[in-house]
Chain A
Amino acid sequence: MKTVKRSIGTLALAATMILTISCKDANQKEATAAMDNEAQQETTKNSGDIAMNDSQESSSEVILKDYFNLKDALVNDDQAKAKDLGMTLTTSLKSFDVSNYSESEQTELKDIIEDATEHAEHIAKSEIKHQREHFKTLSKDMTDMVAITGTEVKLYEQFCPMYDGGTAWLSTKEEVRNPYYGSQMLKCGKVQREIN
């Protein structure tokens, strides 16, 4: 009898927990949908701006711009903003048109975009510690993307030896502002490579 009671208790508790989680999810989804809309509008606006130049380049430039905004949010320890920007980046990644690249480049780019999208999506729904973990791999994806697409902007690949056994990221500025530690260790790191 005791076991039955315990089982029923367990079940009730499990059900309550799951219910709570589901409700939270529903709220999140609504919020996400709203943000998605905004993000989409913003992307359309942005690609409109740059479409004057080369339409092939524009998309990877938009992606980079979203990435740098996201990096700045992490530098500023701003989890909520990073969340929004993760969503914005997700949208621009998904709308990246790779058709102008060679076949082998397309395969590589699609792989990079798929991976980066997953990290951006996680950043859009995580706490800051997780956001930074995903930002690490996202940075690697962005670096590999730039190796194929190139960029008009001068970039600095920066490196922090302390975070997770040594971690790199990209920046448009030479001075180091660390997105993995934020205010905790703002200037930890060095420029390890210049791109362009």
Chain B
Amino acid sequence: MIQFFPTERNESYATPDTDFMLVNNVPEKIQKKLQVSCYDCHSNNTAYPWYNKVQPAAWFLKDHVKEGKAELNFNEWDSLSDRRKKSKLRSIIKQIENGEMPLESYTFIHRDAMLSNVDAQIIIDFMAKLKDSLN
């Protein structure tokens, strides 16, 4: 029965001017990694997995994405003040360093979202440089 209840989808194909990739000069390789490993939950556009067609998974996913976006939304990056950006960058770095992001419950299904040690280091270095460039 619950299969007939539709869930609002987090899908927006227009990239806003405030997007992280647009305002920062992000190397293509890192762009791809962020897109696959972070943007599903931390932007306005989720590349939905097959199980989103199945309830109650879709409901859980919706909450999950909502929470992720509230914490950090890459699409709205440039609307943050420098202070807020630095805070977010620090958290991004710490979470990746500690292996807390991307979430295990996510990479468990999205194997391609897993970050190798090398990938993680490249992203951390980039974020650290970006953080130092802010006042």
Pick the contact of B109: A10, A21, A111 (CB < 8 A).
A10
A115 to chain B, nearest CB (A): 5
* A50: interface (CB < 8 Å): no
Pick the contact of B105: A14, A112, A119 (CB < 8 A).
A14
* B81: interface (CB < 8 Å): yes
Report B-chain residues with C-beta under 8 Å of the C-beta of A78.
none
Bound together, the chains give a CA A67 to CA B90 distance in angstroms of: 20
Whether A18 pairs with B87 at a CB distance below 8 angstroms is: no
Report B-chain residues with C-beta under 8 Å of the C-beta of A137.
86-87, 90
Whether B83 pairs with A111 at a CB distance below 8 angstroms is: yes
A83-119 interface mask toward B, CB cutoff 8 Å, 1 = contact, 0 = none?
A: 0000000000000000000000000000110110011
Whether B57 pairs with A11 at a CB distance below 8 angstroms is: yes
> Number of contact residues on A: which range applies?
20 to 34
* A52: interface (CB < 8 Å): no
Report A-chain residues with C-beta under 8 Å of the C-beta of B54.
11
Pick the contact of B108: A10, A15, A119, A141 (CB < 8 A).
A10
Bound together, the chains give a CA A133 to CA B64 distance in angstroms of: 24
Report A-chain residues with C-beta under 8 Å of the C-beta of B60.
15, 18-19, 22
* B84: interface (CB < 8 Å): yes
> Number of contact residues on B: which range applies?
10 to 19
* B51: interface (CB < 8 Å): yes
Identify whether the interface residues of A are mostly helix, strand, loop, or mixed: helix
Bound together, the chains give a CA A158 to CA B87 distance in angstroms of: 21
Bound together, the chains give a CA A137 to CA B93 distance in angstroms of: 14
* B56: interface (CB < 8 Å): yes
Bound together, the chains give a CA A115 to CA B105 distance in angstroms of: 28
Whether A118 pairs with B109 at a CB distance below 8 angstroms is: no
* B94: interface (CB < 8 Å): yes
B5 to chain A, nearest CB (A): 16
A24 to chain B, nearest CB (A): 13
Report B-chain residues with C-beta under 8 Å of the C-beta of A17.
105
B133 to chain A, nearest CB (A): 17
Report B-chain residues with C-beta under 8 Å of the C-beta of A119.
87
Known: A11-B57, A15-B56. 10 other contacts (CB 8 A): A10-B109, A14-B57, A18-B64, A19-B60, A21-B105, A115-B87, A118-B87, A133-B90, A137-B86, A141-B83
**Which residues of chain B have a CB within 8 Å of any CB of chain A?**
50-51, 54, 56-57, 60, 63-64, 81, 83-84, 86-87, 90-91, 94, 105, 108-109
